[in-house]
Amino acid sequence: MNLNLNTLTYLAICIIACLIAGKIVKQIKLPNVTGYLIIGIIIGPCCLKLIPAEVVSHFDIISEMALGFIAFSIGGEFKLSYLKKIGKAPIVIAIFESFMAVFAVDAALIATGHSVPFSLCLGAIAAATAPAATLMVIRQYKADGPVTKTLLPVVAIDDATALMAFGISVAVAKALTAGSETNFLLTMLDPLYEIGGAIVFGGILGVILAFLPKFYHSRGNRLSAAIAFVFLCEGICDIAGFSSLLACMVMSAAFVNLSNEADKVFEQVDRVTPPLFMLFFMISGADLNIYIIPTVGVVGIIYIIFRMIGKILGSSIGSRISHTEPVVQKWLGFTLIPQAGVAIGLSSIAMQVVPAYGEQIRAVILCGTVIYELIGPVITKTALTKAGEIKAA
């Protein structure tokens, strides 16, 4: 069914659908995020086609904006006073959970007879975690406690570790297929440029943003400045080839540590972003092709299962090494299941750098995204409830 409506009408339908879906899933005690994703699938191109594929493709700008604000919110958790308190734990955990996921998928694929270059390229993407769904579950249920406090910085650092893991794995895969030392070195430099550029650029913008509240005193102007800097950060990063998620996180981390007015600005931003986040998840659902699931076969099953095993095991090992609380060691890994935007982006890069495996990698990652985005929020909510950080209504 194609309604042939204008853009504003489609946006209104999407938001209303999300409001209805949120009410429905609340009755069966599921996170709102799950409802938004499911309603997106139902009214999107895969099912009822109330939102046609060409309309969904025009909403990319909404997804970019939402991811920018999600990263901005997560970076705001990086207060030095808190980081001094928890020490190196988030860094250690992020490294172990990322690289353990990569190793688990690599080992499982190679053991089942798949080629080493293909296994390395697909396994490399296993490190990536989607922060959006996790953040939305935390906000909806007002989760608080050691797991939640450790989770947010781990998810933030995860973006950098995923890029590093992907860069190393793809470089090795290219060296194995082409036998070129130059290709190996150049491929290794790509993630360093993407991460280093994001940190430097995000830090500069954060310093500038921290001084603006001294010149703009009204809440409206401060909110406008924050929105402008999120858009600027994403836009320049896309042009320069930096990681926009990491840059937005670094920008807000610098902002929250340099400005005494940061908390007020974050509060204002949190009040205007809910419709944007609703649309982001609904559009993500509409963009998911559920018919791809049966096509990925054994490779897809291996990837989905062993990535989860790697995340959970790696998080537990990293938590034990960094001497976190037992509840963090037990439950943190289960909150790192969601995977979406960064993984899809890396699969697109894989299609360019290792074209021989690109199509199959893309199919597996898209299938994994469908499954992880649907079950991830539910698992996150369950883990945080078991950890005692989501209180019963």
| Cα-based distances in Å from 338 to 130, 226, 335, 369, 371 | 5, 27, 8, 8, 9
Q: Is the pLDDT of residue 5 over 90?
A: no
Tens digit of pLDDT for each residue in 86-103? 678 888 888 898 889 889
First to last CA, the chain: 39
Is the model more confident about 207 or about 358?
207
Q: Domains in the chain, ordered, with CATH?
A: 60-386 (1.20.1530.20)
CA-nearest of 251, 234, 223, 266 to 341 is 234
Find out whether 288 and 46 touch, Cβ atoms under 8 Å.
yes
Q: Is the pLDDT of residue 43 over 80?
A: yes
CA-nearest of 193, 285, 246, 230 to 64 is 230
Task: Return mean pLDDT, the chain.
Answer: 82
251-281: burial string, b at 16+ Cβ within 10 Å, e else: bbbbbbbebebbeebbebbeeebeebbbbbb
For the entire predicted model, the pTM comes to 0.75
Tens digit of pLDDT for each residue in 222-275? 999 999 999 999 999 989 888 787 888 889 989 999 988 888 898 888 888 889
Q: Give the other-Cβ count within 10 Å of 192's Cβ.
A: 12
User: Tokens 């406690």 identify what position?
Assistant: 145
Per-residue pLDDT, 184: 55
Q: Is the pLDDT of residue 183 over 70?
A: no
Confidence of residue 1 (pLDDT cuts 50, 70, 90): low
Q: Is the pLDDT of residue 182 over 50?
A: no
User: With the C-alpha atoms ordered 367, 373, 375, 380, is the resulting torsion angle positive or negative?
Assistant: positive
